[in-house]
Amino acid sequence: MSAEFSLPIRVYIEDTDAGGIVYYVNYLKYLERCRTEFMRALGTDRAAISDEGWMFVVSSLALAYRQPAKLDDQLDATAAVVAVKGAAIQFAQSVKRGSSCMVEGDVTIACVDRVSGKPRRLSPELKQQLEARMQNKETST
């Protein structure tokens, strides 16, 4: 798996607003799908972690909208690990059409206990996998 994870997304009519462009909140859905599939590719799926009593929640989000995507566009949502801390993972994410960036930003997700909602440290195995992805990103050309 390369350092930057990419997920293809097709824009459907349900994704657009009255002006025929992707409604801004749908980019959040695209980024969420990308993070979910990235974690699944690492072997962490939502059902399993829920059964173990923890989950991920978005704790910080900053996005810049660069240009609109339109009906039937083929997009790529991307996610790259920027930082891994005790209970949090920071991603640099984007949605692109070819080489054109539609949206880019930083998203931090926190690992929390399902019952209490309190932060819960990432498992050593997951932390190691994520840090390895960061190292790959730094050393790739």
Per-residue pLDDT of the chain (141 residues; tens, 9 = 90+): 568 999 999 999 999 999 999 999 999 999 999 999 999 999 887 887 888 899 999 999 999 999 999 999 999 999 999 999 999 999 999 999 999 999 999 999 999 999 999 999 999 999 999 999 885 554 443
- Give the domain CATH number at 67: 3.10.129.10
User: Closest Cα to residue 74, out of 11, 140, 118?
Assistant: 11
17 catalytic per annotation: yes
pLDDT at 121: 95
Question: Which two tokens mark 110?
Answer: 């926190």
* Range of the structural domain that residue 49 is part of: 4-139
Number of domains in the chain: 1
The active-site residue, picked from 17, 45, 51, 113, is 17
57 backbone dihedrals φ, ψ, rounded to 5°:
-130, 150
Q: Where are the alpha helices (DSSP H) in 53-123?
A: none
Residue 92 · residue 80 · CB < 8 Å: yes
* Closest to 89 measured CA to CA, from 51, 52, 120, 53: 120
